[in-house]
Amino acid sequence: MALRNLLVLSASRKASSRRTPAGPGKSCWRIAALCVAIFALAIPACAAPVRLRVAWVDTPSQLTPLRAVLAARHPEIFPHLGHSYTFEPVHFAGSPPQIAALAAGDLEIGALGASSLALAITNAHLDMKIVGDVIQDGLPGHFNAYFAVKKNGPVQRIADMKGRRAAINALGSPVWIELHVALQRHGLGDKDYTVIEAAFPNMFAMIEADKVDLVPVISPKFAAAFDATGDYRKLFTAADVVGPNQASMWAMRADFIAAHRAALVDYFEDAMRASRWFLDPKNHAAAVAIAAAVTKAPIATIDYAFTAADVGRSPDLVPDVKAVQDEIDTAVALKLLPAPVMVAPTHVDLSMIAEAKTRLDGK
């Protein structure tokens, strides 16, 4: 029984069982009991941890499922976990399906691309906030996502995609936007080629079997299969199309932030501490071992993870808001998105990661 309930019950029992004379004495006991009850109600009950379901699409590029394993192996990195919040990684094929989950209250933290953020705001009418970084693409010195074709295949230049088939992970995803932008710039409309949805791990098998002519390669994990054959080449990179970009960002509903801000700052503090752990070279062997355990891939094939050869990530979870705006503006100009969205300041809240960083760094 909660402490405040025990206090109220105790006061009530004392007041009812003790024999007191009529008059002022009885009134005094009633007042005393009321004071104890008021005091008890002022004592907050222990709040249950806030449930945080966090989306992810691909790993080890996205750290979300790896953080869950790290938390089990090194709980000291997550001092707030289980106290102010709980944490559940939730897998999605892409960012567009996350919009419905956010709207339904089945997901607290989305891993969205710029186009999905815009669609969540304009189509789903959600008051979304960018709250942190997940992946940045096109950063100098890091792996850049690209679109691959066969070296000796029918597509030698972008214009050759007319009448051809391209694979994407999900309609409305960053990959979908990048593909459309590249092909539109070379004179191809939506009806000039066919788009086929598929999971990222299946892309290589699809182009090997000639089921598609072009596929996205979003991380070194997938690039290894293409490089091993020597039969493929880059047709264009995502950065060629949209420049350095925020390939994935954490985004949340404003009402959830308002209701649970303190717990969220705790979560971001732990997540930031974990990101720094993964990116610290001294932890590389242990970090890759976690990635291997989650992906079931041989360590030798993912030893690139968390190095300069990997995708870009901010150790302080700071997203590139300007890149998000630029990508949305490009998509709107090409009529790939239904309406413009001004991201900052309305749809940005970096105050939680700023507070988390202050806690960690003391400044």
Distance, in Å, from the CA atom of 177 to the CA atom of 175, rounded to the nearest integer, reads 5
Based on the domain organization, do 68 and 118 belong to the same domain?
yes
Q: How does pLDDT run across 112-163, given as a tens digit for each residue?
A: 999 999 999 999 999 999 999 999 999 989 999 999 999 999 999 999 999 9
- Domain end, chosen from 242, 272, 296, is at 242
Distance, in Å, from the CA atom of 9 to the CA atom of 243, rounded to the nearest integer, reads 66
Sequential DSSP letters for 121-182: HHTS---EEEEEEEEEES-TTS---EEEEETTSS-SSGGGGTT-EEEESSTTSHHHHHHHHH
Q: How confident is the model at residue 47 (pLDDT cuts 50, 70, 90)?
A: confident
- Domain end, chosen from 190, 221, 242, is at 242
Does residue 41 form part of some domain? no
Q: How does pLDDT run across 287-328, given as a tens digit for each residue?
A: 999 999 999 999 999 999 999 999 999 999 999 999 999 999
Based on the domain organization, do 125 and 175 belong to the same domain?
no
Please tell me the predicted confidence (pLDDT) of residue 336.
Answer: 87
Helices of type H across 158-281: 174-184, 203-208, 220-229, 238-242, 254-279
Distance, in Å, from the CA atom of 121 to the CA atom of 123, rounded to the nearest integer, reads 6
Based on the domain organization, do 293 and 267 belong to the same domain?
yes
Q: What percentage of the chain exceeds 90 in pLDDT?
A: 81
Based on the domain organization, do 277 and 348 belong to the same domain?
yes
- Domain assignment of residue 255, given as a range: 51-141+246-361
Please tell me the predicted confidence (pLDDT) of residue 160.
Answer: 97
Q: Can you give the CATH number for the domain in which 66 is found?
A: 3.40.190.10
Does residue 43 form part of some domain? no
Does residue 228 form part of some domain? yes
Three-state secondary structure call for residue 214: strand
Does residue 83 form part of some domain? yes
Does residue 277 form part of some domain? yes
The total domain count for the chain is 3
Based on the domain organization, do 162 and 215 belong to the same domain?
yes
Using the predicted structure, report yes or no on whether residue 263 has a pLDDT greater than 90.
yes
More confident of the two residues 242 and 53: 53
More confident of the two residues 34 and 328: 328
Please tell me the predicted confidence (pLDDT) of residue 33.
Answer: 41
